[in-house]
A and B are shown apart, each in its own frame.
Chain A
């Protein structure tokens, strides 16, 4: 029996915002003490902690391109030419992203000597859009990859692939809602009938949770805060509602984090 090394650590549980000191520090560098900001820190803002100039991110993105190609191929069976075009498009998106990273670094180097506690946000503002872009994924609707899918797949393939995208989006949204409810019921006990009604309510009222992002649950919580309270009081009793109310308040508190990750535009 092979025992593999202890390594992976994870976060999350119940269903409230997961924000560490470091996350806040990343989000609000101005709050930090006097600091000399090096390019390593700048990279860490973009790559969320990585310190090897994005090399691991580049590898991850290359791997994701391959996975995405495999996924499309499973559904619509690409020929060699289509495969090659899509691979090139994926590489193009990764290259364009790192070109933007390099451009941001150049601007960072320009302002670096003048950085003080009072204008450190200027540097952070250079990094933040790239961080958001990375968190949202490079192969979104405006990517070369998506445009190449549209121009490379034939009509039948495109229709099949579109159905697959819709299916995957729906499943991701359902999964995020299920996860949120599963966490909730470990703190606010609910009957199967209440769980079913809550699930129906969230599926009906919550839209736009299609992300693989680990913050998807927090997006669900935030969206819950937009549902009229009466919808919940119709389901839960008074004691349950006290805990639900506190949770909804915390959902609201996640707005800034969700915006920072590019998951919320409101």
Chain B
């Protein structure tokens, strides 16, 4: 077992089973994998693995992915309640629809053993034993937006969509900042280059995921997934050469989720 908590390759993760972290905390951690070296391909290759670790030693690993999805759905429904200003009664049909959506999403789970280094262009989210092939945050948000459309007024629906868009923009801007900071550290960017990168990435890098990029703040030798076709024209020849010298590596995003840190409104039971 790899004892480095900030470096857990997929194969070692499998061996490790539920990683028991200390001081009574359950940790959320991300590990990305599946980065193609070819220009422009990297984003497709991000594989997200989420791992729910309960403090309860006897927790059922089979249910981990389901549980994580449920937590994400419940968190999203809590946002819906606040943004749309709904009573509990008004939430009831939304919760019923979300319960169905939860079961539907859970059906996309696959056994984590089915993943390997060759898993093509997948986004996978899992517990220790199960994985999903989509970024679960995006997936849950899209599902909730879909089910909400017929269940609230147009005005409330648009309020939710606006909030959701603003949140996505905030998260994407966070990812862009992290990426530029990383590039600045590695390539020494000029003021003009930073400005150009910020403009280009914010406008066109729609797959940016801060959660995955946060992983790279933990000093790693590899090169994170970036839309190289977007960024390379901004660099000079020295920087391009240096960028090319960095090794791209396959990465996993691995999430431990502590439900004691969530808002605790259990809409979907």
Chain A: residues with CB nearer than 8 A to chain B?
A: 1-24, 49, 67, 70-71, 73-75, 168, 171-172, 174-175, 178-179, 181-183, 185-192, 195, 212, 214, 216, 237, 239-240, 242-243, 246-247, 250, 253
Contact = CB atoms under 8 A, between A and B. Distances in A.
B261 A243 contact: yes
A243 B5 contact: no
Interface string B1-36: 011111111111100000111110101111111111
A49 B36 CA distance: 29
A168 B163 CA distance: 30
A67 B163 contact: no
Interface of B: 2-13, 19-23, 25, 27-38, 41, 75-76, 78-79, 82-83, 117-118, 137, 162-163, 166-167, 170-171, 173-174, 177-178, 181, 184-191, 210-211, 214-222, 247-258, 260-265
B171 A187 contact: no
A212 B185 contact: yes
A67 B185 contact: yes
A240 B264 CA distance: 9
Contact of A20 (B22, B185, B263): B22
8 contacts: A1-B38, A3-B117, A16-B25, A67-B188, A178-B173, A187-B261, A188-B75, A212-B217
A9 B174 contact: no
Given A9-B2, A9-B9, A179 B252 contact: no
A13 B255 contact: yes
A179 B182 CA distance: 14
A10 B174 contact: no
Given A9-B9, A12-B29, A172 B181 contact: yes
Given A175-B178, A239-B265, A19 B217 contact: no
B249 A4 contact: yes
A15 B26 CA distance: 11
Contacts, number: 246
Contact of A5 (B163, B250, B263): B250
Given A4-B248, A6-B33, A188 B263 contact: yes
Nearest to B31: A9
Given A7-B222, A189-B75, 17 more contacts: A2-B38, A6-B11, A6-B252, A9-B7, A10-B218, A10-B251, A13-B255, A14-B28, A17-B23, A18-B29, A19-B25, A21-B3, A188-B262, A189-B79, A214-B6, A240-B263, A253-B23
Contacts of A14: 28, 257-258, 261
B60 to A, nearest CB: 22
A17 B188 contact: no
